[in-house]
Amino acid sequence: MALDRWIALILLGICMAYGYAAWFTMDAGLAPFMQRNPIWPSTFPKVLSILGIAFSLIILLGLEKSVLKEAEIDYRRLGEYHLGQAVMLLALMVIYALCLRPLGFLISTSGFLILGSFILGERKWHIMGLVALIATLVVWYLVQEVLGIYMRPLPGFLGG
């Protein structure tokens, strides 16, 4: 079996366990007044589990092979892929998660977007900075003002 099918099989198991938790265990602790709501806190995890199971089955059954034949992953040639970029992006995600609270949302997210695009090969700093700043401010505004969820914009020592 090819590497992509092994990964799909592992993801299928994860999605099934996640779906079981979403369908059977998350709703048990709901307050009585929330049980009459059309959308529960478990609605999004249920949708994610269904989509994950569907896409994993598509890969396992080989239904996507008719579209792309040359993009198959060859596990014997893993050294030829850009594994360094992938590992650096994963490390950057962990660093971003750890820096989010102490540095605030605006600095952490802008830094993540700038460094992530640098890792992926972009070298135009003025474009990276402008896009990262606009995207960060738009997301912060939508979450803070439109949704009403407080996110610390700046570090604590700067008044965040």
pLDDT in tens, 10-67: 999 999 999 998 888 877 777 777 777 777 777 888 899 999 999 999 989 887 776 5
Q: Can you say how many angstroms the Cα of residue 23 is from the centroid of all Cα atoms in its chain?
A: 21
Domain that holds residue 146: 83-158
Same-domain check for residues 59 and 16:
yes
What is the widest separation between alpha-carbon atoms in the chain?
Answer: 56
Same-domain check for residues 72 and 97:
no
Question: CA 69, CA 2: separation in Å to the nearest integer?
Answer: 13
pTM, whole model, 2 decimals? 0.56
The token duo for 56 is: 């994993």
pLDDT value of residue 67: 55
Same-domain check for residues 12 and 66:
yes
Same-domain check for residues 151 and 89:
yes
Domain end, chosen from 37, 59, 78, is at: 78
Domain end, chosen from 23, 47, 78, is at: 78
- Helices 105-119, 83-103: axis angle to 10 degrees equals 170
pLDDT value of residue 148: 78
The size of the chain, in residues, is 160
Domain end, chosen from 78, 112, 139, is at: 78
Lowest model confidence (mean pLDDT) among 40-44, 93-97, 122-126, 135-139: 40-44
Same-domain check for residues 61 and 91:
no
Total domains in the fold of the chain: 2
